[in-house]
Structure 1
Amino acid sequence: MRVATASEMREIDNIAIDEYGIPGTVLMENAGVAVIRRLESIWESLAERKFCVLAGKGNNGGDGYVIARHLANQGAKVKVFLLGEKAGISGDARINLDIIDKMGLDIIEIVSERDWDKVKVAAAFSDCLVDALLGTGFRGEVGGDMAHIIDIMNAAGKLVIAVDIPSGVEADTGRICGKAVQAAYTVTFGLPKPGLFLYPGAECAGEITVADIGIPTAVVSRQNIKQNIIMAGMVRAILPRRSPAAHKGTSGRTLVIAGSRDLSGAAAMAAEGALRAGAGLVTLSAPASLQNLLAMKLTEVMTKPLAETATGGICREAVGEMLQLASGSDVVAIGPGLGRHEETASAVRETITTAQCPLVIDADALYALAGYTNLLNECAALPVLTPHPGEMARLTKLDVEAVNADRVGVARQAAGEWGCIIVLKGARTVVAFPDGEIYINTTGNAGMATGGTGDVLTGVIAGLIAQGMSSHDAAVAGVYVHGLAGDVAAQGGMVGMTAMDLLKAVPAALYGITGC
C-alpha cells in the first residue's frame, strides 16, 4: 500500500481539481461524508448524539463544516468551535462555513475567555469530538491557543475522530513538537500519510480508515510515490515456496560471522534466526575459544573456529578462512557480537569488500564501517545494513534524536549515498533502497524491546536470501516476518518476552503468511 507525503497528496489534489475539473468543494464534500460513514459504523444512529466539531481556518476546518452539516441533517446535536474569527476563513472552507451558518448551526468563534469555558463544557457533555483543526500541511511546534484546545480535547475523555491526520502530528515524519490530538479513529483521504504509521504520530492516530474521496485512479498512478506500507499480501507473493522434493542443499547455505569472547549469545541468535527462516544449512564462524560453547548451544548449526586476538575477537589472520567459507555460501551475515577491537574491525572491512556473495551487515560490523561507508560501494552485491537508531546516528554523524525525528528521510539519504539497503530498526522499522523507495513495517510490538531481537532479524533476512530471494525482497519480507513473529510471541504476554521466544515463533509467522 502506497503512502503519500503532504506535498505529494497536495499535488494529487491539485491535478484532480485543475486538470480533471473536479471542484475542490466536491473533494471536501466527499471527505466530510467519509468521516460520517465511519461514525455511522461506530453508532447505529447518529440522531440525538452530541458532537463538538473543532475547526481550524484551513481546508481541514472546511471538512469539519461538511461533517457538521451531515451530522445535523441526521438529527445529531452539533456545536462548531472555530479557533479564530469567521472573517479569516476563505475559499472552499468558507463556502461550507456559510452553509452551516445559514442552517442555523451553533458556531462559536473562540476569541475570549468565556468562549474557552464554552469549549470545555461542550466537550465534557459530548459523545464525540471531531478534530478538524490542523491538516497534513502542518509543520513545527504547536503552541498558544492551538495547544490549549488540544489539551481540552485530550482531557475530555471522549471519543475523538481525526480528520485526515490528528492535529499536531507532522504528516511526513510522525513527529510531534508540543501537543497533538489523541484520536481513537482517523479517517485519512486519498492515500494514507507516513506520519500515521511512524511514531510518535502513530500512537495518536488510533484506528486508521483510508477513504476514497473521488480522485481518479489515473491521477494517483501517474505520481512517482516511493513510500509503501508492507502488507501481508505483498510478503506472501515474494516469500519462497519449498518444493516437496527439497533437501537441505537446495534450501540455501548461510554463513554467519559473529561472536567474541564475551558476546556469544548474539552469534547464536543470528545463526538460529537463519535456520528458523528456512535456510537449509547454517554455519556459524566465530573465534576459536567459543567453539565448544557454541557447538553445545546450537545443535543444528555447524560451527567453524577462527583465529582470534588476545582479547577474544576475530583477528586479521582469519580473513582468508572467512572468505573461503563465504565462497561456498549463498549469503553472509556479519557483525552480531563481534566486539570492537580495531583488528577485528579491520578484518570485517576487508571481508565485506572482498566477499562475492550477498551480505547482511549488523551490530559491530556497522561499528567497523563508521567513517568507512564509502567501502559499501565496493561490495559485490547490494549489501543490507540493519542499524538501530544509535548505530545509524554513529554512521551518519547525527544524534539519535535527529535520526528518530525523520526516520524515512535519514534512511533514504543513507541508502542513496552509500549504495546499499538500509533496514532502520525500531518502532516502526523502515526499509530504504538506493533508488529512494521506502517500505514501512507495521508488524511488531513493544515486547520486542529486549536484547537479541535485532540479531534474530539479521539471521532471518540472511536465511531468506539463502533461499534465493533478492536482497531487496528479503529485507522487506524479513522485517515483516520478524515483527509478525513478535506478535505471535506476544500472545503469551509482552512483558518478559525474550529473543528466544521470537525465534520459536518465526515458523508460525511464516505459516500464517504462506500456509506452509
Structure 2
Amino acid sequence: MRSIDRRTIEEFHISGYSLMERAGFAVTQAAVQMMGDIAGKRVEILCGKGNNGGDGFVVGRLLTEQGADVRCLLLCERTTLEGATRKHMDQAEHGGARITEVADGSQIDFLPETDLIVDAILGTGLKGPIRSLAAHAITCINKHNSPVLSVDVPSGFIPEIGPPDEKDRASWPCVLADRTVTIGLMKVELATFPGKKWSGQLDVADIGFPPEAIEAEHLWLSMPSCEEIQAMLPGRKQDAHKGDCGRVVIVAGSVGMTGAASMTASAAMRSGAGMAILGAPESLVDVLSVKLTEVMVRPLPETSEHSLSLDAEQGVQSLLEWGDVLAIGPGLSQQPETRELVRRVVAQSPCPLVIDADGLNAYSGQGKMLAQRTSEAVITPHVVELSRLTGSKAEEILSDRIVAARHAAQQFELVVALKGTGTVVASPDGRVSINPTGNPGMATAGAGDVLTGITAGLMAQGMRAFEAAVLGVYLHGLSGDIAAVTLGTRSLMASDLITCLPQAIVQMESGCSNG
C-alpha cells in the first residue's frame, strides 16, 4: 500500500492531502450509516500521528459539520504532526472539532453515552506488537460498549501476520471493530477468518488510485461494493413476457430429499427467472407438486431406491432443449446409477450449469472429469465437497480458501463458489471475489440449495457464470442478513432466505445510501 500511495502522489500528482480527504469522506459515510441522524451524536475519534490519524481528522471535521459532538484524542504531541495530517488536524479544529492531546492513559475516558468510537490510531505500517499509549488506548476501546469503526485496519492488526493469538492478547492488543473501512484495496486478511472477527463488517473505499499505480497482483482480487452489485442486476424490459426472463431446468430430489429440490426451484423463481421446470423421480412428483405452485414438475424414471436412474437421461435432455440453464445436484442421492446419470448429463449439457451437493459428489475422487463438458459452469461446494473433488485435505483448503478456490477454478475450467464465511468466488481466468454479506444463522440445512437456485435463476436471465455467482452469493447473504434482523441467527431456516430474497433484490434496486 505504501508503494501505491507513493506512486499515486509522485507519478500521478494526486496529493496526500486529497487522498486523506477521500478516505475520510468514505469513513464518514460509514459512520453516518452506523449512527443515522448525526445531529447531537457524541463521537470519539482516536488519532495516531500517521496517515490514519489524518483520515481521522477528516472524519472529525465532516461529522462536526453535520452537527455531531466530536472529540479527537491525539495520541502524540501535535508538534510532531507533519504534512497533510497536520493540515487536516488544523482544519478539523478550526471547524469546531475538539482536539485533545493525550499524554497518558488516564485521559482516555469515554463517556457511557458515546455513540461511536472511530479508531484511527494505527494502519498497515505496523510491524510488530504495540507498546505504551497506543496499546492502552486499544484496550480502552475494547472495554467500552460503544460501536467501533476502524480506519483501514483495526489498530494492532498486521495484514501480513494476521491478528494476535489469544495468548498474545495482553502484550499485543488489537481493536475489535464492528465495522472497518479499508482504504484503496481490499485486504484479504480482513475479509476472511480469523481476521474478519476483528474487522467486523468490511467496506472497501475507492479513493482514486490510478490503475497504473496498482501492482498487478492486486487487480485479480476484489470485494463487490453495493454499487457494483446494483449495476450487475439483470434488466427487465417493460414489455417482457415470461419467456424473456429465463427458463431454469432443475434436476434434483430423491426419497427423503424433496425439500432440497423444492427450495432450489423456488429460489430460482424468486431470483427473477420467468419459468422453471423440475425433473424428479416419478414417485415424488405428487409431493413436489404440492410443495411447488409456480414450478412445473416432470416425472423421470427412477431406481428401486427412488433416485433418478440412467433411463432418465433422455428425459433430462429433452428438458434441456427447452431450458436456458441447468441446476443439478440438490438431494439427488449418491446412488451409483444416479451418479453416472449426473456425469453423463453434465458432459453433454448444451446449457450453462450450476452443480451442487450430490451433483458434486458424483465426481468424488474424479474431479478432473468436471472439465469434460461443453458449457460454462458454476460449482458451489463447501470445504468437504471441494476436498473430495481435488483430493486436498479439508484443513489445507481452510488454511487458504482463496488459493484453493482459484486453483480448482483453473483446474476444472469453471467458476467455483466456495461456500463459507466470506464465500470465495473464483473464475478460471484468475479473478477472485470475496462476498461481504451473510451471517452465522445461514449455517443451516438447505441454505446451499437456495444458493444453487438463485445462481441458476440469474444465469437464466442472461448473466455469465462468474458475474451470476458473485451476484448470487451477495443476494443470498443479504437475504440472510435481512432475515436475521427479525428472526435472529439461531432460528433462521433456509426457507427464510427465499422469503427475504425479494426484499434483498428491492433493496439493491432502490440504491445503496443506507448501507
Residues in 1 aligned to 2:265 and 2:212: alpha-carbon distance in whole angstroms: 46
Residues in 2 aligned to 1:500 and 1:173: alpha-carbon distance in whole angstroms: 39
Residue 268 of structure 2: which of 251, 259, 274 is its match?
274
Alpha-carbon deviations, 1:152-204, whole Å to 9, x = none?
A: 45653276664531256463797764454313564533334233333442332
Q: Is 1:438 equivalent to 2:432 in the alignment?
A: yes
Instruction: Give the SS at the match of 2:354.
Output: strand
Q: Quote the residue 2:498 is aligned against.
A: 503
Letter in 2 for 1:202: K
Residue 166 of structure 1: which of 154, 162, 176 is its match?
154
CA contact (8 A) 1:137 1:171 kept: no
Residue 353 of structure 1: which of 313, 328, 347 is its match?
347
Residues in 2 aligned to 1:368 and 1:147: alpha-carbon distance in whole angstroms: 54
- The structure-2 alpha-carbon separation of the partners of 1:218 and 1:325, relative to structure 1 and needing over 3 Å to count, comes to same
Q: Quote the residue 1:201 is aligned against.
A: 195
Instruction: Give the SS at the match of 2:53.
Output: helix
Q: Which moved more, 1:218-227 or 1:324-333?
A: 218-227
Q: Quote the residue 1:110 is aligned against.
A: none
Residue 13 of structure 1: which of 5, 9, 18 is its match?
5
Residue 156 of structure 1: which of 143, 148, 161 is its match?
143
Residues in 1 aligned to 2:493 and 2:351: alpha-carbon distance in whole angstroms: 31
| Count of aligned pairs | 461
Structural mapping, 1:274-423, within 5 Å: 274-423=268-417
The Cα shift of 1:351 comes to 1.5
Instruction: Give the SS at the match of 2:299.
Output: strand
Residues in 2 aligned to 1:510 and 1:161: alpha-carbon distance in whole angstroms: 27
In the superposition, the TM-score normalised over structure 1's length comes to 0.75
Residues in 2 aligned to 1:50 and 1:146: alpha-carbon distance in whole angstroms: 12
Residues in 2 aligned to 1:73 and 1:284: alpha-carbon distance in whole angstroms: 61
Q: Is 1:78 equivalent to 2:73 in the alignment?
A: no
Letter in 2 for 1:34: D
Q: Quote the residue 1:96 is aligned against.
A: none
CA contact (8 A) 1:352 1:359 kept: yes
Letter in 2 for 1:485: S
Alpha-carbon deviations, 1:414-466, whole Å to 9, x = none?
A: 11222110112222222110111122222333332322121111011111212
In the superposition, the TM-score normalised over structure 2's length comes to 0.75
Structural mapping, 1:79-98, within 5 Å: 79=102
Letter in 2 for 1:426: G
CA contact (8 A) 2:75 2:134 kept: no
- The structure-2 alpha-carbon separation of the partners of 1:187 and 1:23, relative to structure 1 and needing over 3 Å to count, comes to same
Q: Considering only aligned residues, what root-mean-square deviation do their CA atoms show, in Å?
A: 4.1
The Cα shift of 1:253 comes to 1.8
- The structure-2 alpha-carbon separation of the partners of 1:480 and 1:309, relative to structure 1 and needing over 3 Å to count, comes to same
Alpha-carbon deviations, 1:103-155, whole Å to 9, x = none?
A: xxx4xxxxxxxxxxx76x5666799695746727769xx89999987984565
Q: Is 1:135 equivalent to 2:127 in the alignment?
A: no
- The structure-2 alpha-carbon separation of the partners of 1:362 and 1:175, relative to structure 1 and needing over 3 Å to count, comes to farther
Q: Quote the residue 1:190 is aligned against.
A: 184
Q: Which moved more, 1:348-357 or 1:229-238?
A: 229-238
Q: Is 1:35 equivalent to 2:23 in the alignment?
A: no
Q: Quote the residue 2:31 is aligned against.
A: none
CA contact (8 A) 1:35 1:67 kept: no
User: Where does the alignment leave 5 or more consecutive residues of structure 1 unmatched?
Assistant: 1-8, 54-60, 80-105, 107-117
CA contact (8 A) 2:204 2:225 kept: no
CA contact (8 A) 1:52 1:123 kept: no
CA contact (8 A) 2:142 2:175 kept: no
- The structure-2 alpha-carbon separation of the partners of 1:45 and 1:167, relative to structure 1 and needing over 3 Å to count, comes to closer
Residues in 2 aligned to 1:492 and 1:365: alpha-carbon distance in whole angstroms: 34
CA contact (8 A) 1:174 1:194 kept: no
Letter in 2 for 1:506: L
Q: Quote the residue 1:57 is aligned against.
A: none
Residues in 1 aligned to 2:321 and 2:203: alpha-carbon distance in whole angstroms: 49
The Cα shift of 1:33 comes to 1.2
CA contact (8 A) 2:263 2:450 kept: yes
Alpha-carbon deviations, 1:272-330, whole Å to 9, x = none?
A: 11111222221111122212111221122222222222322222232232223223321
Q: Which moved more, 1:346-355 or 1:389-398?
A: 389-398
Letter in 1 for 2:238: P
Q: Is 1:512 equivalent to 2:504 in the alignment?
A: no
The Cα shift of 1:268 comes to 0.7
The Cα shift of 1:271 comes to 0.9
Residues in 2 aligned to 1:422 and 1:331: alpha-carbon distance in whole angstroms: 17
Instruction: Give the SS at the match of 2:326.
Output: strand
Alpha-carbon deviations, 1:198-257, whole Å to 9, x = none?
A: 344233225667667785565249876112222333233332222333323332221111
Residues in 1 aligned to 2:313 and 2:160: alpha-carbon distance in whole angstroms: 43
CA contact (8 A) 1:36 1:67 kept: no
User: Where does the alignment leave 5 or more consecutive residues of structure 2 unmatched?
Assistant: 21-48
Residues in 2 aligned to 1:177 and 1:77: alpha-carbon distance in whole angstroms: 32
Letter in 1 for 2:368: N
Instruction: Give the SS at the match of 2:294.
Output: coil
CA contact (8 A) 2:119 2:154 kept: no
- The structure-2 alpha-carbon separation of the partners of 1:232 and 1:282, relative to structure 1 and needing over 3 Å to count, comes to same
Residues in 2 aligned to 1:484 and 1:213: alpha-carbon distance in whole angstroms: 25
Q: Quote the residue 1:114 is aligned against.
A: none
- The structure-2 alpha-carbon separation of the partners of 1:481 and 1:73, relative to structure 1 and needing over 3 Å to count, comes to closer
The Cα shift of 1:338 comes to 1.0
- The structure-2 alpha-carbon separation of the partners of 1:228 and 1:211, relative to structure 1 and needing over 3 Å to count, comes to closer
Identity of aligned residues (%): 37
The Cα shift of 1:412 comes to 1.6
Instruction: Give the SS at the match of 2:327.
Output: strand
Residues in 2 aligned to 1:404 and 1:172: alpha-carbon distance in whole angstroms: 18
Residues in 2 aligned to 1:465 and 1:22: alpha-carbon distance in whole angstroms: 41
- The structure-2 alpha-carbon separation of the partners of 1:346 and 1:10, relative to structure 1 and needing over 3 Å to count, comes to farther
- The structure-2 alpha-carbon separation of the partners of 1:366 and 1:498, relative to structure 1 and needing over 3 Å to count, comes to same
